[in-house]
Structure 1
Amino acid sequence: MKKYQIIIWLVALVVGVGIGLLRIEAIDSVMNFIATVFTRLFRLLAVPTIILAVINTLASLGVGKEMSRMFRTALTYTLLTTTAASVIGLGLYLLVSPGNLPAEAIDAEVATGIATGETAEFSYADHLLTVIPDNIIKPLLDGNVLALLLICFAVGIALSKMPDTPSRNSLIKGLAGLQDLLFMLIRWLIDILPIGIVAFAAQLTTEMGGDIMLDSLGKYVLVIIGGNCIQVFIILPLFLLFKGINPLTTFRGMSQAILMAFFTKSSAATLPVTMQNAEQKVGVDPKVSRFVLPICTTINMNGCAAFILVTSLFIMQNNGMPISWVTMLMWVFISVLSAFGNAGVPMGCYFLTLSLMSGMGADVSIMGIILPIYTVIDMVETAENVWSDSCVCTITDKVLARKSSQV
């Protein structure tokens, strides 16, 4: 991060909070507009970043041992960190033991329309079908990351297997040039990001001004936020230390991306910044970062797994459903599996949990009570997800570098 940039970002944060506290409707509307513009711009860059990163990396690596080792390492640590986040969430839930919400509060939320209606038809078979693309344009327009990854894998591997001809080399150079152009656009966007931070902070301050049932939801929020903090400041650094990596140095290098994730609430939108920080600030090999990070953005959802587990147990408890040890362990597995493939976009975990509970026939009116505070939860979880992506990427780079030196 450039000198004084953190100070500028912090000043922008303070200014944004001050603007939000004014509660002036016209100014709030302007801040919401600016925040939306920045979020849309980062999403605009996120999709081509994923496409070019995966295709270029696979084209250069092929499907040899290096790529296989890279994928196995990233997948292993993704599973380990996501499972750890879910288990920590379960442990805190049992320790804090949130009580049931007042029945009248739940009944009042039925009118919001957050119930067992349309989402009850959700099934994982349907979700799997959306991953299988039936044309090239639709996944691009929809921002379907998993479908795009399948296409990019096929194109990248095909490029690596093509004969070494001038046309193939020209195509690869052209894709690399497009990637360099994309990173230039990302740098420009980062330069004006303080304006976006002011808007994001003002927007958050305004949204937090509503009446929230803190007394009833306090323990639930404590479990969610506390689990995220333990994962961020204890568990993930321990993974890095175990591999001989300095957590403070890594966190400092990735701080720009983590802050960006916090404000945008989208790990996919933050991906360009995450890749740039990993390569330029932490020193990760571009071959590793441009392969691992797009995958992690889709499957490495530590915060989402913890949210799914805790919220599902909370809803089941309020619905009077029996929760045995077998049920809790089963939901650890379900939460980890569900987090894989969850869209790295704002409120992705919220709607996924809503779908899971609706599919069980539970009364999900409680989700309407959680909704006003989910903005804060989503910000913390997204920052945790990007930090976890960074840790998995850094560990993968270290493992591959160590094995290469032993050859």
Structure 2
Amino acid sequence: MKFLKNNLLIQIIIAIVLGSVLGNRLPESIGRIFSTFNSVFGGFLKFIVPLIIIGLIVPAIGNIGKNAGKLLLITTAIAYSSTLFAGFISYGVSITTFPNILATEQLGNITESTKNLESYFDIAMPPMFDVMSALVISFLLGIGISKGNFTYLEGVFNDFQSIIMSVINKAIIPFLPLFIFGIFLNMTYNGQVFVVLDTFVKIIGVIFILHVFVLVFQYVIAGTISKQNPFMLMKNMLPAYFTALGTQSSAATIPITLEQTIKNNVDPKIGGFTVPLCATIHLAGSTLKIVACAIALMLVQGQTVDFTLMVGFIFMLGITMVAAPGVPGGAIMASLGVLASILGFDMEQQSLMIALYIAMDSFGTACNVMGDGAIAIIVNKISKSKTIPAEA
């Protein structure tokens, strides 16, 4: 029971299976109870998402900019470039392969289905401001704090970040399995569940292959720059990779990541700086998954995947990933605002994104962590060639 309590992935899988099995077996009156919970919880999510954006992005930008030396700027630039590369590779492969793979899938808009489980009541929880306003406010405040001497304001937003993280960990993540159960219960009731499950299976293989490609590419660059064998570098990082598979957390894997990074001839001071930083700001594997899952969901719902729209989405997602906490499910929670504001995803579509993402969370985290090792090697080489002090 303790294993089940602490393993979000297993909880999500159980929720999907139970929802898919019980959708046509539970009395409608019972199903409506879960639909009512989903209505209330979905309303709360819609209310909290702008606050999550502010709570995560403002401290992230403020802290990154504070006393920023060349090493910090270089590491951040490389991490952001790696994240964008993963996002655009994911877009290119997804838009090329998914139309054929998912050609037989057709999922109508969940909220517009003629046969849905109705909730008994709704509770209106309008957000204080919309998602785009939250993003603009976050950037303005974060940049302002990073450039000025606003110690009190910085402390306020660091405390606010702690509150938001507590809300995510105690009021959102624990109830996600029940929320996803209700979504799949309703999809089974209206006959759409098998399309979604078939979509899950078809895209997981493609995303895993993309993860491998991105990692090989990162280490070929790191090996070329440092004049080391990229595959030996990858071999040394495997303990961190497999640790991340178990923890599903970049932050929890930092000690192992740092230990293995040092074995790749990285200066301990450079490793001690880049590994914890990248655990927070470098989420290439997570970006790859989010882009691929979003495209898959858009295709099966008959939406047009516009190139210009996706370019803006990937650039903004990359910035959002800088603010995403390195904890299980942190990346997808931070990305909900961008999914809503740019791609127009409603709460039901966002819940499917959460389910798709968490189903592959271990592999995405492992990709993030292993990529951190490659960035550390590159930064280590740059710091030596340019004589940038490690304590910058």
Bucket of the pairwise TM-score, normalised by the shorter protein: 0.5 to 0.7
What is the CA distance between 1:74 and its match in structure 2? Answer: 1.5
Distance in 2 separating the partners of 1:268 and 1:109: 40
Which position in structure 2 is the counterpart of 1:241? Answer: 223
Distance in 2 separating the partners of 1:111 and 1:321: 25
Matching of residue 347 in structure 1 with residue 325 in structure 2: no
Give the secondary structure class of the aligned counterpart of 1:97: helix
Which position in structure 2 is the counterpart of 1:393? Answer: 376
Distance in 1 separating the partners of 2:160 and 2:254: 18
Alpha-carbon contact 2:107-2:301 (below 8 Å) kept: no
Q: What is the aligned counterpart of 1:273 among 250, 256, 263?
A: 256
Give the secondary structure class of the aligned counterpart of 1:329: helix
Which position in structure 1 is the counterpart of 2:107? Answer: 102
Which position in structure 1 is the counterpart of 2:283? Answer: 301
Which position in structure 1 is the counterpart of 2:73? Answer: 72
What is the CA distance between 1:338 and its match in structure 2? Answer: 2.2
Distance in 2 separating the partners of 1:375 and 1:137: 27
Deviates more, 1:135-144 or 1:258-267: 135-144
Structure 1 residues 372 and 324: CA distance shift in structure 2, 3 A: closer
Q: What is the aligned counterpart of 2:3 among 6, 31, 36?
A: 31
Distance in 2 separating the partners of 1:365 and 1:403: 50
Alpha-carbon contact 1:228-1:384 (below 8 Å) kept: yes
The equivalences for 1:298-377 within 5 A come to: 298-318=280-300, 320-360=302-342, 361-377=344-360
Alpha-carbon contact 1:109-1:365 (below 8 Å) kept: no
Specify the code of the residue in structure 1 equivalent to 2:363.
V
The equivalences for 1:216-295 within 5 A come to: 216-232=199-215, 234-243=216-225, 244-279=227-262, 281-295=263-277
Distance in 1 separating the partners of 2:358 and 2:303: 28
Distance in 2 separating the partners of 1:118 and 1:318: 29
Matching of residue 138 in structure 1 with residue 159 in structure 2: yes
Matching of residue 380 in structure 1 with residue 352 in structure 2: no
Which position in structure 1 is the counterpart of 2:36? Answer: none
Give the secondary structure class of the aligned counterpart of 1:268: coil
Distance in 1 separating the partners of 2:78 and 2:116: 39
- Using the size of structure 1 for normalisation, the TM-score is 0.58
Which position in structure 1 is the counterpart of 2:85? Answer: 84
Distance in 1 separating the partners of 2:314 and 2:338: 14
Give the secondary structure class of the aligned counterpart of 1:269: coil
Contiguous gaps of at least 5 residues in structure 2: 9-62, 146-152, 166-184, 186-192
Alpha-carbon contact 2:244-2:366 (below 8 Å) kept: yes
The equivalences for 1:172-183 within 5 A come to: none
Specify the code of the residue in structure 1 equivalent to 2:3.
M
What is the CA distance between 1:297 and its match in structure 2? Answer: 1.4
After superposition, what is the alpha-carbon deviation per residue over 1:249-297, rounded to whole angstroms, capped at 9, x for unaligned?
3223322222111111111121232223323x23321221122122211
Alpha-carbon contact 1:90-1:309 (below 8 Å) kept: yes
Alpha-carbon contact 2:321-2:335 (below 8 Å) kept: no
Specify the code of the residue in structure 2 equivalent to 1:278.
T
Structure 1 residues 118 and 347: CA distance shift in structure 2, 3 A: farther
After superposition, what is the alpha-carbon deviation per residue over 1:69-92, rounded to whole angstroms, capped at 9, x for unaligned?
422332232133212211110111
Give the secondary structure class of the aligned counterpart of 1:235: helix
Distance in 2 separating the partners of 1:118 and 1:262: 37
Specify the code of the residue in structure 2 equivalent to 1:103.
G
Distance in 2 separating the partners of 1:140 and 1:247: 38
Specify the code of the residue in structure 1 equivalent to 2:278.
C
Distance in 1 separating the partners of 2:305 and 2:161: 41
Distance in 2 separating the partners of 1:140 and 1:332: 24
- Using the size of structure 2 for normalisation, the TM-score is 0.60
Distance in 2 separating the partners of 1:137 and 1:330: 28
What is the CA distance between 1:31 and its match in structure 2? Answer: 2.5
The total of aligned residue pairs comes to 281
Contiguous gaps of at least 5 residues in structure 1: 1-28, 37-54, 56-61, 145-209
Distance in 2 separating the partners of 1:35 and 1:124: 31
Structure 1 residues 135 and 371: CA distance shift in structure 2, 3 A: closer
Distance in 2 separating the partners of 1:84 and 1:68: 24
Identity level (%): 20
